Amino acid sequence: MAKRLSKKFSMNPDWRGHPPFTEETRHELLQYVTSWRPSELVQKTYGRKPIRFLIFGPSGHGKSSFISSIKSCLDGEIGQGAVVGAGMAQVSRQYNEHPLIYKGEDLPFVLCDSRGLHEEGGGAAIDGIRMVITGQFQQGEIMPTQREMLIDPAMPFKATDLPLGIIFVVDATKSENLRTKHSFALYLEKIIDFLNDNEIPRCVVMTHTDAVVSSDLKTTFSNKSLETAVDSSGKLFRVPKNNVYPVKCYTEETGTKKKVDILLLCALKGVLIAARHRAEFIARSNTRSQIRDHGFQPLGGRASDI
């Protein structure tokens, strides 16, 4: 008895409450995500077009892998894996909207991929990011890099042009290193200030969790090294700790797994909850004729000088 008790109390306590890693949990989360619908008031305000969630993050940190993993989770089987970039390789150069399908029906929201936020100057230009956020880019358009000039006039936009959420994707093994890069911090600050000015909710999806917890996903919320990475990412992207969602992407598996799905669905559920609150606020503001035109003035120079 004493030996069992000492073993019990030597275990790390969970640093975040979480649902159990059971099949019932997976089913409940999947039901929430796939049955999520905007209210009638929101649909009237936004129209019938899918609600956008934009995904940003440094190249090679798992943006495309996260999207393909969500698709695999909904399909119940592993589909075509994402092409992975590393270093200066810019695999995702275009703005692409990825519809999500469950049992043959489109869900009412899309995940939007874009050029990476590269900490070494080759990533998406600040003006390009603002244009994506305000709905100025179309499917398949190539986004300019920081080194490329953008000469666009100030473009007006409405609150309903904005996405209902931003998902920053960051590698759990690289988040602390990103915080030490002053140029990236300044670059990111301009993006976050724009999001704050327009009250767009955001969260962080932390990929490669398995690399920190030694593939034992049951210890995700008790692993102290991962907690440190979560704290670091929260500070970097200026979000509360509970808005940082550790996940594992499907990169090596040949079939879906319960614990992987639960982490992915927990992240997506968090995004949808925040989106519902934001959408209702905008819709109610619209009924009071409070939605107004905004505008931003492109920086008019090379974003690498920012």
DSSP the chain: -HHHHHHHHHSPPPSS----SSHHHHHHHHHHHHH----HHHHHHH-SSPEEEEEE--TTSSHHHHHHHHHHHHHTS--SPPPP--TT--S--B-EEEEEEETTEEEEEEEEE-----TTTTSB-HHHHHHHHTT---TTPBPPBTTS------EEE-GGGS-SEEEEEEETTTHHHHHT-HHHHHHHHHHHHHHHHTT--EEEEEE-HHHHTTT-GGGTTT-HHHHHHHHHHHHHHT--GGGEEE----SS-SS--HHHHHHHHHHHHHHHHHHHHHHHHHHHHHHTT----EEE----S-GGG-
Q: Provide mean pLDDT across the span 135-140.
A: 84
Q: Provide mean pLDDT across the span 213-220.
A: 87
- Residue bearing the bigger pLDDT, 128 or 234: 234
- Residue bearing the bigger pLDDT, 40 or 86: 40
Find out if CATH 3.40.50.300 is the number for domain 48-287.
yes
Instruction: Report pTM.
Output: 0.86
Give the confidence band of 93 by pLDDT, cuts at 50, 70, 90.
Answer: confident
Task: List, for residues 33-53, the tens digit of each pLDDT value.
Answer: 999 999 999 988 888 889 999
Examine the pLDDT at 64 and tell me if it is beyond 50: yes
Given this model, what pLDDT does residue 146 score?
67
Examine the pLDDT at 101 and tell me if it is beyond 90: yes
Q: For the ranges 92-101, 238-247, 279-288, which has the lowest average pLDDT?
A: 279-288
Give the confidence band of 269 by pLDDT, cuts at 50, 70, 90.
Answer: very high
Give the confidence band of 126 by pLDDT, cuts at 50, 70, 90.
Answer: confident
Q: What is the mean pLDDT of the chain?
A: 84
User: Residue 215: how many CA atoms within 13 Å on its side-chain side?
Assistant: 5
Name residue 221's amino acid.
Answer: F
